């Protein structure tokens, strides 16, 4: 299938990164949000990221303007009609995703692939809201999307070989390396990542080490680019909690159980970098 126009629903942390990478890779991108305010915030994030890439010499002014010209924002679902592929990147809420997929099923051409950037939710459950489960799959990107090399593809029980092959080819055009996982909670990466972050928060909560020492221990002792608490702040504590809850509900194993501290922080609005405070304070930039 020839893909030129893609749709991205949700222009938050992940959605805006997907839009940026797709537009820089030469795709026309229709960007959808719930309302104009969210759309403006998401587009501003993309502008900032493109400016950052320019200032680092990774992108010329001409390339950045061309990427911006390929993006068009909307708050109407019917504007996704011309899309050849749509990626949903909204919050981890099955009902919301099902509503979006059901609507996309109505407004897009029947052969269009509908993908979800879900971190943990069942692809089969999302696909069930459509009449094209063979054309539904998971396309799980990693934060920050412009930097991370991986695209994890998740094959639902009814996803066709053709859909998977098209998604692999699309991932390559974005410059990503793809891996394929079966439709099981957490797929490959989050199934490994969440118990690690949960353990690190538990260690901190128990007062066994300072947050700085936990992070320095992993960063310097294991050569990770950042420690687990800094990483949780980057991913977003709300997202981390949502994924942990799905995994715990599905597997019932204590290693996935969110520590009370994580839940308290999310309730208090301490969501990490995106809200300015998490384990660390980002308000001074």
Point out which residues bind ligand 3HC (CB under 6 A).
Answer: 49, 56, 119, 142-144, 146-148, 190, 193, 225-226, 231, 235, 239
Smallest distance from the beta carbon of 39 to ligand 3HC, in angstroms?
20
User: Which residue among the candidates 119, 120, 122, 275 is catalytic per the annotation?
Assistant: 119
The DSSP 8-state label assigned to residue 77 in this structure reads G
Query: Catalytic: 131?
Result: no
Contact at 8 Å (CB) between 115 and 86?
yes
Task: Look up residue 28 and give its DSSP letter.
Answer: E
H/E run at residue 72: strand 71-74
Q: How far apart are CA 152 and CA 58, in angstroms?
A: 25
Residue closer to ligand 3HC (CB basis): 80 or 141: 141
The tokens of 275 are what? Answer: 């809200």
Q: How far is the CB of 257 from ligand 3HC (least distance, A)?
A: 17
152 is catalytic: yes
User: Which CB sits closer to ligand 3HC, 73 or 146?
Assistant: 146
What are the residues whose beta carbons fall under 8 Å from the beta carbon of 277, sequence distance 6 or more? 270, 271, 283
- State yes or no: is 224 an active-site residue: no
- 13, 28, 95, 199, 232 from 115: Cα distances, Å: 17, 17, 16, 31, 25
Annotation marks residue 35 as catalytic: no
Closer residue to ligand 3HC, CB minimum distance, 144 or 217 = 144
CB contact at 8 A, 181 and 51: no
Residue 170 CB, shortest distance to ligand 3HC, in Å, is 19
Catalytic residue among 16, 120, 140, 275: 140
Q: Catalytic residue among 16, 117, 190, 275, which? A: 190
* 188 within 8 A of 153, measured Cβ to Cβ: no
Dig out the tokens for 129 from the structure.
């809201």
Q: Smallest distance from the beta carbon of 79 to ligand 3HC, in angstroms?
A: 27
Min dist CB 260 to ligand 3HC, Å, is 20
Between 43 and 231, CB nearer to ligand 3HC: 231
User: Residue holding tokens 């001074």?
Assistant: 284
Nearest residue (CB) to ligand 3HC, 5 versus 239: 239
Q: Which residues are catalytic?
A: 119, 140, 152, 190
């Amino acid at each position: 299938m020839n893909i030129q126009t893609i749709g991205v629903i949700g222009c938050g942390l992940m959605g805006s990164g997907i839009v940026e990478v797709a537009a820089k890779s030469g795709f026309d991108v229709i960007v959808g949000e719930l309302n104009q305010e969210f759309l403006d915030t998401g587009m501003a994030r993309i502008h900032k990221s493109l400016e950052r890439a320019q200032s680092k010499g990774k992108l010329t002014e001409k390339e950045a303007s061309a990427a911006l010209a390929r993006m068009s924002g909307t708050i109407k679902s019917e504007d996704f009609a011309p899309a050849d592929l749509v990626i949903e990147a909204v919050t981890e809420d099955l009902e919301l995703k099902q509503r979006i997929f059901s609507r996309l099923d109505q407004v897009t051409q029947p052969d269009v692939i509908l993908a979800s950037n879900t971190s943990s939710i069942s692809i089969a459950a999302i696909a069930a809201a459509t009449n094209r489960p063979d054309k539904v799959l998971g396309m799980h990107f990693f934060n920050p999307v412009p930097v991370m090399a991986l695209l994890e593809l998740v094959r639902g029980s009814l996803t066709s070989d053709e859909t998977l092959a098209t998604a692999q080819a699309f991932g390559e055009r974005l410059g990503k390396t793809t891996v394929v996982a079966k439709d099981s909670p957490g797929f490959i990466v989050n199934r490994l990542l969440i118990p690690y972050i949960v353990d690190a928060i538990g260690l901190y909560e128990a007062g066994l080490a300072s947050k700085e020492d936990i992070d320095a221990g992993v960063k310097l002792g294991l050569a990770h680019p950042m420690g687990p608490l800094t990483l949780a702040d980057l991913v977003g504590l709300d997202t981390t909690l949502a994924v942990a809850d799905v995994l715990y509900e599905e597997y019932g194993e204590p290693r996935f159980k969110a520590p009370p501290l994580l839940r308290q922080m999310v309730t208090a609005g301490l969501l990490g970098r995106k809200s300015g405070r998490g384990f660390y304070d980002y308000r001074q930039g």
